[in-house]
Chains A and B, each alone.
Chain A
Amino acid sequence: MGRRRLPWLALVIVVVAMAWPALRRPPTDGYPLSTYPMFSSDRGPWSEVVTVVGRDPDGAVVRLSPRAIGGTDEPMVAIRTAAIAVGGGHADTYCDEVAGRLGAHPVVVELEVVTERHHAVEYFTAGEDPRERRVHARCAAGGGS
């Protein structure tokens, strides 16, 4: 192949490959070829988030860490992990899994796998209490239910 053709061929291949996920119907996100869908849809003001919270001896909510909830320091992995566990009907075993990762905690005595429904804007402007709250599982902190 000529010295001048190769660069142009490389250019065409790269551009077509990068655009391909967006040209598919429906567009399909992937890696490293992506549709770059971050923040593109209007998801509305309501957020329903599955997470795990701790309870102190007085019953007050204690927020845990992404590492305790999902096993890594990535918050999005934590959220997906909790959602997949609840969606798959494994909330009880997942609760024990989180308790095992959390280990002994100076304040937390109990864990709850919960779905919290918030108005995302009002959370920051009017208060942090969820509008709805569903508890999927409870277990003792420190490793067992």
Chain B
Amino acid sequence: MTAAPTPVAAAAPAAAVRRRTPGYLDPAPPERLATLRILVVGFALGYLVVRTPHLLDVARLADVAPGRFAPVGPLVLLDAPPAPVMVAAVLAVTIAAAAAGLVGWRWRVSGPVTALGFLLLTSHRSSWGQIFHTENLVALHLLVLAASAAADARSLDARRRARTGGAPPVADPRYGWPVRLAAVVVVVAYVLAGWAKLRTGGIDWVTGDALRNHVAHDNLRKALVGDVWSPLGGWAVAHGWVFPPLAAASLAVELAAPVALLGGRWRTGWVLAAWSFHLGVLGLMAILFPYPLLGVAFAPFFALERLGWPPWRRVAGARVAAPR
């Protein structure tokens, strides 16, 4: 007869697991990946719905200024801009697929269609002479999720499987590594942004007027085309001493992104710093990065299963190798 483990004995290894840096192939509960699906696809769906008028405006450029089409991403295969009705159709299909993906219905189809549609639409938006960098992480996260078992829990697919007698999924590496991969995507993007500043400007980017000039230039351009610009940024450029510390902090946040993979206080500290960085960009330049500001970009760093489902109910348990 085997003695049942005492609560103390059982708690010790669990605490040890939680204390160490989460491993890439650690098993994770299916709820972690599923919650990431809900957050990322929910963001993409909200983005597409809110930005529908803008995306249709961009589509109409094919009629009024086809010569300005400078395709990026998968659209480089096109010689001419797609017809507005084609863009509208892709938009409608992608919104429908994202709604299905959000509730986890037929994820093997709705996931890839959402990812591909979002990639095509945002590539099209950046194919008119100005590449935007606000949707890169969403597009990449959707691609990672589309290739994963992100609807094995908290989904209509999971309900259907349960009704037909399927066994409930248990913690497994396949529910963990896609989330960790999404976290790596975030880290690489921030490091590349920091590296670009060092490569182009060197340490002068911190000590010189580069950031001040950018804040002034960006607000000026917006003012000259009648757009919203930041009065705070306009005020700040009059005080040059503000910018070297801000530049140093920005660069440190970007280059230090890998520490977020350590978990625990390192992760939380970096996420708070990165979020503050984007808040500063919004305040000084009126540039909105909604994905990180809403926290969705940083979701892969956390034990998302603890959020519970529905969101107003916290879930007990399901704490296998949770990132601290």
Residues of A in contact with B (beta carbons under 8 Å apart): 3-4, 7-8, 10-11, 14-15, 18-19, 22, 27, 29-45, 47, 49, 51, 63-82, 84, 88, 97, 116, 118, 120-121, 123-125, 128
Contact = CB atoms under 8 A, between A and B. Distances in A.
Contacts, number: 206
B65 A36 contact: no
Interface of B: 24-25, 54, 57-58, 60-61, 64-65, 67-68, 72-73, 119, 122-123, 126, 128-133, 135-136, 139-140, 144, 147, 173-174, 177, 181, 184-185, 188-189, 192-193, 195-197, 199-201, 204-205, 208-214, 216-217, 219-227, 234-235, 237-238
Given A31-B72, A75-B227, 14 more contacts: A31-B122, A31-B123, A31-B132, A32-B140, A36-B193, A42-B210, A45-B213, A47-B220, A63-B225, A69-B226, A79-B221, A81-B128, A84-B68, A128-B223
A36 B200 contact: no
B91 to A, nearest CB: 15
A79 B221 CA distance: 8
B310 to A, nearest CB: 30
A44 B201 CA distance: 12
A55 to B, nearest CB: 14
Closest 4 CB pairs of A and B: A120-B216, A80-B129, A42-B210, A36-B193
Contact of A41 (B133, B177, B201): B201
14 contacts: A11-B24, A18-B188, A32-B123, A40-B197, A43-B217, A65-B227, A71-B65, A77-B129, A81-B68, A88-B67, A118-B220, A121-B238, A124-B216, A124-B235
Nearest to A18: B188
Nearest to B73: A31
A39 B200 CA distance: 10
B111 to A, nearest CB: 15
A124 B219 contact: yes
B25 to A, nearest CB: 6
Contacts of A75: 221-222, 225, 227
Given A11-B24, A45-B209, A118-B220, A36 B189 contact: yes
Nearest to A37: B196
A93 B126 CA distance: 24
Nearest to B222: A75
A30 B225 CA distance: 25
B224 A42 contact: no
A120 B240 CA distance: 13
Contact of A38 (B24, B57, B184, B193): B193
Nearest to A42: B210
A64 B173 contact: no
B226 A66 contact: yes
